[in-house]
Amino acid sequence: HKLDRIEQVSSKIFDYVEQHPEKDKELRRFINYYLPTTLKLVNAYCQFEAQPVQGENITAAKDEIRKALDTIGTAFENLLDSLFGDVTL
């Protein structure tokens, strides 16, 4: 499920930054843009889903939100991966 994936990766990002506070600058865009945008999209999706009639516009909007959540999930995963970018074995 898209939201489960986003929640899991978000949790891992916050856990990592908690252990590595020097990485907090890399989190600014995540906190200031991606999290509020994700919340806005999820709220909009819930509003559309609650409508008793699912017309063409509502269906199209829900499809776009699902696509955006896929993109956001990938962005979260990329951010998590980048946090480990300077870790050497």
pLDDT, tens digit (0-9, with 9 covering 90-100), for 32-79: 988 999 999 999 999 999 999 999 999 999 999 999 999 999 999 999
Q: Is residue 39 part of a domain?
A: yes
Sign of the torsion angle spanned by Cα atoms 12, 18, 19, 23: positive
Find out whether 16 and 30 touch, Cβ atoms under 8 Å. Answer: no
In the predicted structure, residue 89 carries a pLDDT above the cut 60: no
Q: Is residue 89 part of a domain?
A: no
Q: Is residue 31 part of a domain?
A: yes
Q: Is residue 74 part of a domain?
A: yes
Give how many domains the chain has, as a whole number: 1
pTM: 0.83
> 65: domain range?
2-83
Q: Is residue 25 part of a domain?
A: yes
